């Protein structure tokens, strides 16, 4: 993994490598798989997702609704029915301390192709690996989008060279999880932010303003944590309002004391909120009724839900749920100008 002037060598857990066949992780196997991938046809149904994935997304939305309901509005009076506040686990990695070695790569960050070449030289200078061994083995590089593009640019420039050291075909770049969440969350936030100078605009800035947070410059990409926290606060405030509409208390003031309700009633509220505001038919109905405010609000809530889910999945180490969101974002990014390059790499 590398970013800017610093890099991290992450040695895989032996428990993971021992479960794989040695023939499956060789450079030859990688090149053979990539040559076959070039002729693979991608159809819309490939990106649509399986029934299991759609059911999991439904559970994710319901768990987020339940979390807000139990956090701000009600508490169960009994334990007859379990109210699920976390979605089902898909593929969770072991919670073992990683074996990571940090090294300095460059004197200054360089976004050019030559800079990427300097990165590999820096790795060789600070490690005991020889050039021949390094370039004749599959090297998986976890990086940001710019680095992935620069490595691919170098590889394209050196075709049809057949020397691994020069053509760099032994280098596989993959998007880093944090960088991907950072940039996609920023693009989604910008898309739904709206114009605070327009009093008729009902974008996400109104929620920031109502929550007492600055709405003039809410997106500071240098502060990743603050941006995600703001999105989560807007998301929870929106769900809270939708729940109050379902419960018929949208005109009341919330107090510190939660209402006590039977667990079966809580489940009914969650199901009704999901059916009224989070299904595809609900979004389509809002659009057909020429209700742009409601339609935009529902679209924003579903988009923000993907960011909240990915962030929580990364914290819990559920790589399966993260991959579900990457596949969803690969489709969403097709229509977002700032994510055209991500649309290619996420596929």
Domain extent listing, the chain: 50-92+178-346, 105-175
pLDDT of residue 180: 85
pTM: 0.83
DSSP 107: S
DSSP 172: E
Asked whether the bond before 194 is cis by omega within 30 degrees of 0, the reply is no
Report in angstroms the alpha-carbon separations of 114 from 144, 147, 151, 157: 16, 11, 10, 12
Could you count the other beta carbons within 10 Å of the beta carbon of residue 212?
7
pLDDT of residue 174: 80
- What tokens does 345 get? 């790499």
Judging by DSSP bridges, how do beta strands 171-175 and 99-104 pair with one another?
unpaired
Return d(Cα 164, Cα 259) in angstroms, integer. Answer: 66
Chunk the chain into consecutive blocks of 10 residues (it has 347) and report each block's average pLDDT, rounded to whole numbers.
66 79 81 80 75 91 96 92 90 82 65 65 79 82 76 77 76 81 88 79 82 69 82 94 93 88 95 94 86 87 94 90 88 78 68
pLDDT of residue 69: 96
Sequence-ordered list of residues with C-beta below 8 angstroms from that of 214, at least 6 positions apart, any chain:
208
Phi, psi dihedral angles at 286 (to 5 degrees): -65, -35
Report in angstroms the alpha-carbon separations of 278 from 64, 256, 310: 11, 27, 18
Return d(Cα 3, Cα 154) in angstroms, integer. Answer: 18
DSSP 251: T
- What tokens does 41 get? 């046809």
pLDDT of residue 337: 74
């Amino acid at each position: 993994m590398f970013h800017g002037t610093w890099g991290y060598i992450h040695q895989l857990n032996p428990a993971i490598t021992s479960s794989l066949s040695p023939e499956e992780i060789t450079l030859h196997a990688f090149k053979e798989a990539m040559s076959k991938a070039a002729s693979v046809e991608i159809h819309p149904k490939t990106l649509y997702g399986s029934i299991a994935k759609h059911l999991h997304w439904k559970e994710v939305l319901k768990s987020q609704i339940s979390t807000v309901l139990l956090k701000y509005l009600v508490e169960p009076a009994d334990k007859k029915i379990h109210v699920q506040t976390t979605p089902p686990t898909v593929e969770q990695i072991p919670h073992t301390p990683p074996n990571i070695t940090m090294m300095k790569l460059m004197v200054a960050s360089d976004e050019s192709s030559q800079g990427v070449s300097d990165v590999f030289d820096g790795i060789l200078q600070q490690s005991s690996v020889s050039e021949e061994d390094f370039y004749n083995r599959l090297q998986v590089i976890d990086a940001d989008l710019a680095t992935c593009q620069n490595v691919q640019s170098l590889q394209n420039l050196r075709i049809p060279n057949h020397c691994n050291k020069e053509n760099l075909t032994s280098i596989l770049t993959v998007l880093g999880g944090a960088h991907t969440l950072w940039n996609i969350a920023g693009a989604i936030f910008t898309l739904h932010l709206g114009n605070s100078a327009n009093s008729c605009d009902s974008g996400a800035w109104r929620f920031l303003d109502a929550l007492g947070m600055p709405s003039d410059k809410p997106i500071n990409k240098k502060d990743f944590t603050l941006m995600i926290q703001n999105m989560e606060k807007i998301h929870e405030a929106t769900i809270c309002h939708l729940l109050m509409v379902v419960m018929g208390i949208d005109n009341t003031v919330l107090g510190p004391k939660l209402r006590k309700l039977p667990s079966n009633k809580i489940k009914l509220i969650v199901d009704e909120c999901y059916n009224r505001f989070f299904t595809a038919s609900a979004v389509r109905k809002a659009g057909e009724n020429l209700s742009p405010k409601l339609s935009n609000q529902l679209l924003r809530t579903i988009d923000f839900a993907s960011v909240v889910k990915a962030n929580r999945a990364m914290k819990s180490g559920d790589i399966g749920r993260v991959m579900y969101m990457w596949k969803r974002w690969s489709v969403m990014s097709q229509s977002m100008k700032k994510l055209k390059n991500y649309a290619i790499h996420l596929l």
